[in-house]
């Protein structure tokens, strides 16, 4: 389900999105899904017709989503979509990732969010969601349970989680869903001259924020772990920060092939490492794949999620929005991550180990001396 804010151009032209698996609160798709499930889902997704302007009741729209066979389809009321456009989403303020052994752990906690207030910390294992084992659920059901269904998915509703810190006791926390302000880009400085830029979703303005954060850095770590996708244009524009023109990828929309290219003038010299994991998906996979295919960056981390489909939002007559799959995308070398994901150049399953390796790789690549304008 898409749930990150994204700007839609109303009228004949609509922005395409690489659908975002919402975080229930969270976090942007940092849930790994069993590969067999992911592959089957992708193959079954068929291009949908454009329903812009259709006069459908909420019940009809939700029924259409349910019967479409499209696992990435979503319906938003006018108010829900308005919240997305303002950069707001319903959640509990945590991201999770699936480890190699199948266990699920908290990878990010939003400061002052419901999860943080309840004492949930990065590294805690998530064992159960409302009594159901988390590691046995596919990503779509995990998202649905965290965010809540038609009756539970509202501000003030609760979700019960069983969490465990290392080998400590299992404890249950009850989190109350609330409307949170999205913060897609974060910036940190893990070493002198090195900037780490985290991107949780590709919404309006993200590429400009990445460009500003990278300006003057001697080396860059682009952290796409748990990044769930977003606008096609923003992913290509972010690639343009580090490429001097050339291909970023291509996608099919209702049978028509369209090319994505980087704008000229990007910084092709600053050493660049991209962090990825099982929550890196959609537009984030396209970006990572483009930088890998173009030999512009070293990918460090775990295999990415494997979602290669493209969604288009259609605004209905009452202002509500349907998001349906219209095609698939490929990297510049013709690869599709659909079902299989991208393989990092330097494997690292442990999040802390991945960041350490990223800095070591940057040291091996060498950094440019002196300040840059």
Indicate if the alpha-carbon torsion angle 201, 205, 207, 211 is positive or negative.
Answer: negative
Looking at residue 87, what is its pLDDT? Answer: 62
Terminal-residue alpha carbon distance, the chain:
40
Q: Which residue has better confidence, 281 or 270?
A: 270
| The pTM of the whole model exceeds 0.75 | no
Convert the pLDDT of each residue in 173-232 to its tens digit. 999 998 887 778 999 999 999 999 999 888 888 999 999 999 999 999 999 998 878 888
Query: Could you report the per-residue pLDDT of 235-263, keeping only the tens digit for each?
Result: 999 999 999 999 999 987 767 888 999 99
* Rounded distance between C-alpha atoms, residue 218 and residue 212, angstroms: 14
- The CA distance from 356 to 348, in Å, is 10
pLDDT, tens digit, 9 for 90 and up, residues 18-48: 544 333 323 333 332 222 222 223 333 444 5
Distances (CA, A) of 151 to 57, 200, 265: 17, 27, 50
The domain 185-308+330-365 is classified under which CATH number: 3.90.226.10, 3.90.580.10, 3.30.300.130, 1.20.120.1200?
A: 3.90.226.10
Give dist(CA 188, CA 20) in Å, integer.
24
3-state secondary structure the chain: CCCCCCCCCCCCCCCCEECCCCCCCECCCCCCCCHHHHHHHHHHCCCCCCCCCCCCCHHHHHHHHHHCCCCCCEEECHHHHHHHHCCEEEECCEEEEECCCCCEEEEEECCCCHHHHCCCCCCCEEEEECCEEHHHCCHHHHHHHHHCCCCCCCCCCEEEEEEECCCCCEEEEEEECEEEECCCEEEEEEECCEEEEEECCECCCHHHHHHHHHCCCCEEEEECCCCCCEEHHHHHHHHHCCCCCCEEEEEEECCEEEEEECCCCCCCCCCEEEEECCCCCCHHHHHHHHHHHCCCCEEEECCCCCCCEEEEEEECCCCCEEEEEEEEEECCCCCCCCCCCCCCCEECCCHHHHHHHHHHHHHHHCCCCCCCC
Q: Give me the mean pLDDT over the 326-341 stretch.
A: 89
- The tokens of 223 are what? 């952290």
pLDDT at res. 360: 94
pLDDT of 56 strictly over 90: no
Q: Which residue has the higher pLDDT, 72 or 164?
A: 164
């Amino acid at each position: 389900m898409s749930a990150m804010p994204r700007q839609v151009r109303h009228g004949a032209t609509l922005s395409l999105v690489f659908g975002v698996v919402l975080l229930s609160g969270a976090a942007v798709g940092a849930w790994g899904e069993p590969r067999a499930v992911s592959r089957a889902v992708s193959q079954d997704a068929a291009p949908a017709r454009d329903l812009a302007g259709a006069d459908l009741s909420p019940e009809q729209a939700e029924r259409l989503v349910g019967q479409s066979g499209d696992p990435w389809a979503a319906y938003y009321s006018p108010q829900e979509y308005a919240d997305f456009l303002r950069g707001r989403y319903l959640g509990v303020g945590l991201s999770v990732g699936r480890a190699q052994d199948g266990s699920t752990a908290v990878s990010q906690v939003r400061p002052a969010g419901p999860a943080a207030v309840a004492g949930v910390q990065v590294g805690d294992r998530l064992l159960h969601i409302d009594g159901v084992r988390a590691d046995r659920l596919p990503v779509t059901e995990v998202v649905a349970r965290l965010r809540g269904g038609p009756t539970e998915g509202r501000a003030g509703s609760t979700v019960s989680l069983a969490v465990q810190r290392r080998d400590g006791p299992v404890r249950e926390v009850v989190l109350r869903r609330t409307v949170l302000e999205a913060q897609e880009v974060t910036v940190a400085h893990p070493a002198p001259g090195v900037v780490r830029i985290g991107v949780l979703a590709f919404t309006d303005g993200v590429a400009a924020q990445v460009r500003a954060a990278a300006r003057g850095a001697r080396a860059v770590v682009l952290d796409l772990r748990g990044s769930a996708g977003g606008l096609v244009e923003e992913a290509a524009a972010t690639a343009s920060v580090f490429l001097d023109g050339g291909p970023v990828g291509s996608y099919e929309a209702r049978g028509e092939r369209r090319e994505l290219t980087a704008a000229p003038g990007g910084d092709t010299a600053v050493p660049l490492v991209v962090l990825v994991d099982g929550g890196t998906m959609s537009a984030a996979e396209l970006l990572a794949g483009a930088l890998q295919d173009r030999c512009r960056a070293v990918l460090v981390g775990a295999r990415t999620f494997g979602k290669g489909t493209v969604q288009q939002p259609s605004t209905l007559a009452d202002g509500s929005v349907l998001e349906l799959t219209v095609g698939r995308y490929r990297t510049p070398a013709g690869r599709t991550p659909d079902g299989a994901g991208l393989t990092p150049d330097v494997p690292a399953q442990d999040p802390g180990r991945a960041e350490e390796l990223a800095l070591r790789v940057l040291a091996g690549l060498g950094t440019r001396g002196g300040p840059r304008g």
